[in-house]
Amino acid sequence: MKSPRTTALLRRATAVTLAALTATAATAPTASAASAASADAAASRTAVTSTAEGARVPAVSGPRGKLLTARPLKGGAALPSAARTWSVTYLSEGATGKRVVVSGTVSVPKTAPPRGGWPVISWAHGTTGTADVCAPSKDDENGPAHAYVSAMRPTLDAWVARGFAVVQTDYEGLGTPGEHPYMNSRSAANTVIDIVRAARGVDRRVGRDWFTVGHSQGGHAALVTAAANDTRKGPRLRGAVSIAPGGWGLSQTVPYFRDNLPAPVDALAFLPTILIGASAAEPAVKPEEILTDEMRPLLAAARTACVAQVREVAAVTPVSQVIRTDADLAPLTAYLRAQEPVGLRVTVPTLVAQGTHDGLVPKQTTDLIVADLCRQTPKVTYRVYDGADHRGAVPRSFDDALAFTKAILAGQTPATTC
């Protein structure tokens, strides 16, 4: 049972997080709501079935990490400093325990590989949306998630320029059949892990030693990956870097709106993403039975567009009540609580990075995550960057992250701040 003080903190953090996320999304260069909806509707007709509610996902079989396809990629999502980048698909295990096809990219350095092959950075990206068009591997300069994806690219390019192979999963259901189970711990960890194995099928010079590095939604993914304890032979997870990890207090999101607590209207743009993600993993969660009819336009937009475009729809959609008065929130609340980064026991050295001026993931919530991690195991190093905002923490933490990974590869144990 959380204390009233803790519950109040979670609700304040929820308000800040929801408001800031959609405010951040609003900075993306986008077309009008009408033109965005039209373009995305056209895209959804030619895309795979993951944007269609209740669409049947073809059954697939094979070992996790099996490489299915690899094609050379130039421009768009390719890293400039890489010798080559491939767009790939591979097998993983999804939120419901079934095999799923996942897309992503693999980039290898121009430098000669060391003995044992290039070490690997498995990047876990932040929130882009739940529709197929939000997959980072599909990004180009006109892409609906380009503002975020392009902001991360210089740091990822810096990794490959320093001799690391960089692999980037799109996550389950982004760009491939099935809905995206947003913030699902099991699915996130599996897709981050399995793309490393797939990358070794793309280029045999990709090594066994790897690190997970993630931001925001991906910061959460990095933490659950570090706690996943994958014991299969092959790639060896050596460490984790979690930047501004999301997910703390996630279960408070819907009760916050149910209680009609103050929040900017822009915050509504994020709510459908949470509900669609939860319903992808938990059939008892039905967004249409939780949201009022006034919220239907936002829910429809979230199924075919990205966060920035959903925000545009929210800006022109008057909503007086968000949650239905007869909605059963128990399945959703229980599901979201199970995805919160609480009680995680990381199995490898873990660096957590946080900016002091982060309006999306407040430092106070990351402090709580770190304190909880330290209670489980003293393998955590915490670094705080004065003045860094949510996205700014990624480049600001790069030097520390690079030193952290190099120390581990050299056989050293990073100092803990627990």
Q: In what order do the strands lie in the sheet with 84-93?
A: 67-72, 84-93, 99-108, 165-169, 118-124, 206-215, 236-243, 350-355, 380-385
What sign for the dihedral angle of Cα 84, 88, 91, 95?
positive
The CATH class given to the 1-118+130-209+219-235+247-347 domain equals alpha beta
Could you tell me the pLDDT band of residue 57, with boundaries at 50, 70 and 90? low
What confidence tens digit (pLDDT) does each residue in 248-295 have? 999 988 888 888 766 565 578 889 999 999 999 999 999 999 999 999
Longest dimension (CA), the chain: 62
Overall pTM > 0.75: yes
The pLDDT of residue 20 is 39
Burial of 359-374, coded b for 16+ CB within 10 Å and e otherwise, reads ebbbbebbebbbebbe
Rounded-to-integer distance, Cα 285 and Cα 279, Å = 5
Torsion angle in degrees (nearest 10) through CA of 302, 304, 305, 310: -30
What confidence tens digit (pLDDT) does each residue in 161-201 have? 999 999 999 999 999 999 999 999 999 999 999 999 999 99
Rounded-to-integer distance, Cα 337 and Cα 342, Å = 9
Per-domain residue ranges of the chain: 1-118+130-209+219-235+247-347
Mean pLDDT of 242-246: 98
Instruction: Give strand pairing partners of 169.
Output: 104
Instruction: Give strand pairing partners of 70.
Output: 88
Number of H helices, E strands in the chain: 14, 9
141 has a pLDDT exceeding 80? yes
DSSP annotation of 52: S
Average of per-residue pLDDT values in the chain: 88
